[in-house]
Structure 1
Amino acid sequence: MPKTKLQGIIFGLLMSVTMAYGMEVYNVALKEGGLSQMTNHVFWDALLEAAYMWLFVFVFSNLWGNRIGHKLADKICRAEDSPFLHTLFISGCTVLIMCPTMSAVAAVLFSVILGGGSWDQLPAYWVATVLKNFPMVLLWNLFAAGPVTRLLFRRIFARQLAEA
Structure 2
Amino acid sequence: MPESKLENFVFTVMMAFVMVYAMICYNIALTIGGMRDAVLLDAFREMMIMWPVAIILEMFVFEKPVVYLTKRLITPETPILLIILIRCSITVCLMCPTMSLIATALFKNFQAAGFIGTWLQTAVINFPMAIGWQIFLCGPAVRFLFRTIFRKDN
Looking at structure 2, the residues matched to 20 and 56 of structure 1 have their Cα atoms a distance apart, in angstroms, of 10
- Structure with bigger RCO (C-alpha 8 Å, 6+ apart): 2
Answer yes or no: is 1:103 the counterpart of 2:108.
no
Kept in 2, the 8 Å contact 1:70–1:94? The answer is: no
Aligned match of 2:121 in 125, 128, 132? 128
Give a deviation string over 1:10-61, Cα, whole Å, max 9, x none: 001001101111111111110111xxx3211111112332232111110111
Alpha-carbon deviation of 1:106?
0.7
Aligned match of 2:137 in 122, 144, 163? 144
Answer yes or no: is 1:31 the counterpart of 2:31.
yes
Q: Any stretches of 5+ residues in structure 1 without a counterpart? A: none
Looking at structure 1, the residues matched to 76 and 43 of structure 2 have their Cα atoms a distance apart, in angstroms, of 35
1:2-151 mapped onto 2 (5 Å cutoff):
2-33=2-33, 37-78=34-75, 80-111=77-108, 115=109, 117-118=110-111, 121-151=114-144
Equivalent residue, structure 2, for 1:162: 153
Looking at structure 2, the residues matched to 80 and 13 of structure 1 have their Cα atoms a distance apart, in angstroms, of 30
AA matched with 2:153? A
TM-score (normalised: structure 1): 0.86
Q: Any stretches of 5+ residues in structure 2 without a counterpart? A: none
Alpha-carbon deviation of 1:151?
1.1
Kept in 2, the 8 Å contact 1:70–1:93? The answer is: no
TM-score (normalised: structure 2): 0.91
Looking at structure 2, the residues matched to 12 and 20 of structure 1 have their Cα atoms a distance apart, in angstroms, of 11
AA matched with 1:45? D
Matched position secondary structure for 2:36: coil
Kept in 2, the 8 Å contact 1:103–1:126? The answer is: yes
User: Could you tell me the percent identity over the aligned residues?
Assistant: 34
Looking at structure 1, the residues matched to 88 and 76 of structure 2 have their Cα atoms a distance apart, in angstroms, of 13
